[in-house]
Amino acid sequence: MAVRHSFEVANGSCDDDGHPRRTGTLWSCVAHIITAVIGSGVLSLAWSTSQLGWIAGPVTLLCFAIVTYVSAFLLSDCYRCPDSITGTRNYSYMDAVRVNLGRKHTWFCGLLQYLSMYGTGIAYVITTATCMRAIQRSNCYHKEGHQAPCAYGVTFYMLLFGLIQIVMSQIPDFHNMEWLSVVAAIMSFTYSFIGFSLGFAKVVENGKIMGSITGVPASSLANKIWLVFQALGDIAFAYPYSIIVIEIQDTLKSPPPENKTMKRASMVAIFVITFFYLCCGCFGYAAFGNDTPGNLLTGFGFYEPYWLIDFANACIVLHLVGGYQIYSQPVFAFVEGWFAKKFPNSGFVHNFYTFKLPLLPGFQLNLLRLCFRTAYVVSTTGIAMLFPYFNSVLGLLGAVTFWPLAIFFPVEICCCTDVLYLLFIGFSLGVAKFIENGKIMGSIIGVPASSLANKLWLVFQALGDIAFAYPYSNIVLETQDTLKSPPPENKTMKRASMIAIFVTTFFYLRCGCFGYAAFGNDTPGNLLTGFGFYEPYWLIDFANACIVLHLVGGYQIFSQPIFAFAEGWFATKSPNSGFVHNFYTFKLPLLPGFQLNLLRLCFRTAYVILTTGIAMLFPYFDSVLGLLGALNFWPLTIYFPVEMYFVQKNIGAWTRKWIVLWTFSFVCYLVTAVGFIGSLEGLIKCQTELRHYCNSK
């Protein structure tokens, strides 16, 4: 076992800031974005579409895609300041806010960003457990019949996912996650396509398009309002990209300029994402109409082919493994950076210990990283166990954070100086259900509710779910920080954002629309786990397995920023602590050596435990998604990017551009507010009145 101190650059190969040379490209950036954006939110889009109806549902998805791209475009120019090509790098969203907007905004932004990332980790724990349970239920329905009880808990699966994330959280940072993002992105395409295909098949089977113009009817106007609000939160959660734009851009090599690469990547990614979102959301609603499940693959609108549903859910799990890390790494980096500054002489913070296990490559372990990241995972898991309400949590997170982080801060910053394989399963199941129905399910106004109030609540929750489906802003800058330069990182990031959001939206539309077309008013909250599909059970199992694999990576995508923040904080506070800085090298038989840091081990383990525990407490798929989407959409996707844009470009008050961007920000704020209200109402209802119903979604 060898001990070394943190940060040693091999062979003197480093960038202009002294950091190891970045190797990120347009396509690695697109992979990060798609992994970050297409997550657990995609399968709730059919339910969100069902609450909003045939006109408002697809239009809302497109609007969120456009807003997300604008946010990413603004943030891409904030990676370097004061000049967007030659200026000093900002390694994270918070750095950009601090440089452009000052300390007060930094605290507000940091609170929202890391709360959003933490909440995303909790949502990923819930989703993974739901998908793994869906595989078990799918096999049960196939063997025992569709009327069999097939009731299973999710606690064991949450704990299992938490254990996996404790191990995955020892990945040092974003720069070492390219392979995980690629796997997670492939998984996301696979399960989204399965959800879309099942919805399409259901529509064909129905022989008509289910659903209506106004969506699912509610028992009262109040309930309809709550559902609409929650739907807005869910949609906001489906576009969480802005909170990690800068972190992603920081991975890009230069030249070409990072901002140009980032803009291209954002264009590609958002186009693809929106395509899939529309497909999943619209075909899910067309398939089930008013019965659209909260999760297209776990709500069991589909029972067969069970193997395909299993496969899709497995893909979701694999995706979420990476997705969790995408949103956790910025947190890890922040905390560990803080400790490094506070404790510059701490061995606990700075020492890395090299371990070599037989048959495995050596690895390095840092005690601070081990402890903090473990604690982080433990906490997200614990909270997920307490609040396992998928749609409500997603809607709340999406609504609360979307406007400030995706709109306000990017616009404000930019005003001051010059600056497909996995998605196939969800889509295929929707298509198959559409064909089976022989008609397009759903209606122009969506699933009816018992009253206008109930309808509004469901629409609001659906908005939160859609917001959750676009969480990209949280990690834009962290992703951009992985890009090599030249070309400029902001150019690469913009290209990657364009590609990734295009791809994401393409899949979102397919999954949402075909899911609704297949099930109409019976669209499940989760397309693969809500059991709108029972057969082919093997396909549903495969899709859920894909979801699980995706979530393994997705969990890391959103956890790594938290790990980085926490471990950085400890490194700063305890510069001489061996617990923080020492890495121990271990070598296991048949494996490469690995390094273990005690802080990383402890913190990341605690983090996973906490997220798992919370997920076990609140395992409500639709409610959690809507709440998460509502919580982070406006502040992280809108407010902070807009504010930074004002600063970056020296845009004065009451100028034409200032008025346009502020109007844009205010409208997104209103959407976020209603999404948060609807998702919170849904979460409270799940916790107090309808716990059994919410757990079954």
pLDDT single digits (tens) 257-291: 888 888 888 888 888 888 878 877 787 788 777 87
State the average pLDDT over residues 124-140. Answer: 83
Q: What residues have CB less than 8 Å from 679, skipping those under 6 apart?
A: 229, 230, 233, 234, 391, 392, 393, 394, 395, 396, 398, 399, 460, 461, 464, 465, 623, 626, 627, 629, 630
Q: How confident is the model at residue 302 (pLDDT cuts 50, 70, 90)?
A: low
Per DSSP, 207 falls in state T
Q: What per-residue confidence (pLDDT) applies to 422?
A: 46
What does the block give as tokens for 352? 């890395």
Q: What per-residue confidence (pLDDT) applies to 399?
A: 67
Q: Quick check: is 13 in a domain? A: no
* % the chain with pLDDT above 90: 1
Distances (CA, A) of 389 to 163, 498, 533, 606: 21, 32, 21, 22
Exposed, middle or buried, 158 (CB in 10 Å: 0-12/13-18/19+)?
Answer: buried
* % the chain with pLDDT above 70: 84
CA–CA gap between residue 598 and residue 563 (Å, rounded): 13
Range of the domain at 221: 31-696
Residue 206: pLDDT above 50? yes
pLDDT digits (tens, 9 = 90+) for 92-119: 888 888 888 888 888 888 887 887 788 7
| Structural domain count, the chain | 1
State the average pLDDT over residues 570-593. Answer: 84
Q: What per-residue confidence (pLDDT) applies to 685?
A: 74
Q: What per-residue confidence (pLDDT) applies to 583?
A: 86
> Of 149-153, 426-430, 525-529, 624-628, which has the strongest mean pLDDT?
149-153
CA–CA gap between residue 215 and residue 449 (Å, rounded): 8
Q: How confident is the model at residue 419 (pLDDT cuts 50, 70, 90)?
A: very low
Task: Provide the mean pLDDT of the chain.
Answer: 78
Q: Quick check: is 7 in a domain? A: no
Q: How far is CA 361 from the centre of its chain?
A: 31
Q: Quick check: is 21 in a domain? A: no
Q: What per-residue confidence (pLDDT) applies to 657?
A: 86
Q: What per-residue confidence (pLDDT) applies to 652?
A: 85
Q: Quick check: is 514 in a domain? A: yes
Q: How confident is the model at residue 420 (pLDDT cuts 50, 70, 90)?
A: very low
CA–CA gap between residue 269 and residue 267 (Å, rounded): 6
State the average pLDDT over residues 569-594. Answer: 84
Range scoring the smallest mean pLDDT among 177-191, 208-222, 430-444: 430-444
State the average pLDDT over residues 561-574. Answer: 88
Contact 662, 260 (CB under 8 A): no
Q: Quick check: is 603 in a domain? A: yes
State the average pLDDT over residues 195-209. Answer: 78
Q: What per-residue confidence (pLDDT) applies to 7?
A: 47
Backbone angles phi, psi at 623, to 5 degrees: -65, -40
Strands (E), 260-350: 294-303, 346
Q: Quick check: is 70 in a domain? A: yes
Residue 560: pLDDT above 80? yes
Q: Which residue has the higher pLDDT, 87 or 593?
A: 87
Q: Which residue has the higher pLDDT, 13 or 335?
A: 335
CA–CA gap between residue 361 and residue 359 (Å, rounded): 7
Q: pTM for this one?
A: 0.65
Q: Quick check: is 617 in a domain? A: yes
Distances (CA, A) of 484 to 36, 86, 407: 20, 14, 27
Contact 625, 694 (CB under 8 A): no
Q: How confident is the model at residue 417 (pLDDT cuts 50, 70, 90)?
A: very low
pLDDT digits (tens, 9 = 90+) for 147-177: 787 788 888 888 998 898 888 888 887 777 7
Could you give the angle at which helices 489-519 and 45-76 cross, rounded to 10 degrees? Answer: 170
Q: What residues have CB less than 8 Å from 491, skipping those under 6 apart?
A: 76, 256, 257, 258, 259, 260, 261, 262, 263, 264
Q: Quick check: is 540 in a domain? A: yes
Beta bridge pairs of residue 198 = 431
CA nearest neighbour of 583 among 561, 566, 568, 599: 599
Compute and round to an integer the Cα radius of gyration of the chain: 22
Q: What per-residue confidence (pLDDT) applies to 10?
A: 47
Q: Which residue has the higher pLDDT, 203 or 40?
A: 203
Q: Which residue has the higher pLDDT, 63 or 524?
A: 63
Range scoring the smallest mean pLDDT among 242-251, 431-440, 493-502: 431-440
